[in-house]
Amino acid sequence: MLALYVWDRELSATFFSDIAVLEVPLRNAIDREFVHYLGSASHLQHDLWDARTRRRITQVLARIAFFNGRL
């Protein structure tokens, strides 16, 4: 049974590295499409998000601005 567990971990690690390589370009492509169809500030202005999600996005953008020295 332990050998099966080890094999599963190795297989998962192999797939994870491939998925990790594809994750960033995929997120960038999704963002590019949002901007194209909804505008550059769609993450805040569009009705895709509920109030909690918009609030969280605003908090994250404020943290980014703070750490970039723009606050």
Give residue limits of the domains in the chain. 1-38, 41-71
Q: Answer for the pair 43, 34: CB distance below 8 angstroms, yes or no.
A: yes
CB atoms closer than 10 angstroms to residue 43: 19
| CA–CA distance, 50 with 63 (Å, rounded to integer) | 20
Look at residue 46 in the predicted model and tell me its pLDDT.
Answer: 61
Say if pTM beats, i.e. exceeds, 0.75: no
63 vs 71: CA distance, rounded Å = 9
pLDDT at 71 over 80: no
pLDDT single digits (tens) 10-62: 888 888 888 888 888 888 898 888 788 777 766 666 677 888 988 888 898 88
